[in-house]
Amino acid sequence: MTVMYKLIPVTAVEVIGPHKIRLTFKDGLVGDVDFTGRNWRRVFAPLADPNYFAKVYVDSEVGTIVWPNGLDMAPETLYERACEHQVRGADHIAA
């Protein structure tokens, strides 16, 4: 069975290591997402550089994380990944 996640905006991002971030979502969920070992290709290629990856920030208008070149990631996917490594927050998982 596939779990569908609602569109819950990202409200904060913290870089916690090379290619590792801690995300906070509007519903209170806080979770870590580890992109270590990911093969960054094409438009994502600049993210292979940990220094560039660390320039991530939250765009509150779109409710997700972005980089200076305009690249962003789907908040639904980020939420799913953060749920897998939840630090604290949301007592429930959106269904």
72-85 per-position pLDDT tens digit? 999 999 999 999 99
Six token digits for residue 40: 């960054």
pLDDT of residue 94: 47
The larger pLDDT score, comparing residue 66 to residue 39, is at 66
| pLDDT of 91 | 59
pLDDT at 89: 66
Residue-level pLDDT at 14: 97
From first CA to last CA, the distance across the chain in angstroms is 12
Distance of CA 4 to CAs 12, 18, 93, Å? Answer: 22, 29, 10
The mean pLDDT value for 57-79 works out to 95
Provide the pLDDT for residue 34.
Answer: 96
**Residue 59 in this model has a pLDDT that exceeds 70:** yes
Q: What is the pLDDT of residue 3?
A: 58
The yes-or-no verdict on residue 95 having pLDDT over 70 is: no
Domains in the chain (CATH in brackets) are: 10-88 (3.30.2020.10)
Q: Identify the three-state secondary structure at position 61.
A: coil
